[in-house]
């Protein structure tokens, strides 16, 4: 699966147009990703002009992808 840093997305929909698995689509004013459809090809990350897509090969669970990305747990979540 991939993760998208939505704050930096310029909504060009390039990722959606190259995705061979239809795993990204524009929903409202955001790009939505469907991890269950993603085949981890990395094309979307390659074409993103804003460089806001990160590929997490072999990961299907968004929580796992966050850990993979090295995101810290929210403050005060675990003591
Ligand atoms: S990695 Fe490939 S299959 Fe997955 S969302 Fe990106 S373009 Fe689509
Ligand atoms: S290619 Fe990048 S900038 Fe363009 S819509 Fe997708 S995530 Fe946003």
User: Tens of pLDDT along 20-43?
Assistant: 999 999 999 999 999 999 999 999
Rounded Cα–Cα distance for residues 49 and 34 (Å): 21
The three-class DSSP label of residue 10 is coil
Rounded Cα–Cα distance for residues 59 and 3 (Å): 11
State whether the beta carbon of 41 lies less than 6 angstroms from ligand 2: no
**Residue 68 pLDDT exceeds 90:** no
Q: Residues 60-71: what's their mean pLDDT?
A: 79
For ligand 2, what atom is nearest to the CA of residue 14?
1
Report if pTM > 0.85.
yes
CATH number corresponding to 2-68: 3.30.70.20
Q: With left for phi above 0 and alpha for psi between -120 and 50, is residue 11 left, alpha or beta? A: left
Domain ranges across the chain: 2-68
Higher per-residue confidence, 74 vs 52 = 52
Pocket of ligand 1 (CB under 6 A): 2, 18-19, 21, 23-24, 38-44, 55
**What integer pLDDT is reported at residue 66 of this predicted model?**
80
Cα of 73 vs centre of ligand 1, distance in Å, is 26
């Amino acid at each position: 699966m991939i993760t998208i840093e939505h704050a930096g997305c310029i909504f060009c929909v390039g990722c959606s147009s190259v995705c061979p698995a239809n795993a990204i689509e524009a929903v409202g004013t955001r790009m939505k990703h469907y991890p269950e459809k993603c085949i981890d090809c990395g094309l979307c990350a390659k074409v993103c002009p804003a460089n806001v897509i990160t590929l997490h090969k072999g990961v299907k669970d968004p929580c796992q992808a966050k850990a993979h990305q090295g995101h810290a747990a929210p403050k005060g979540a675990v003591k």
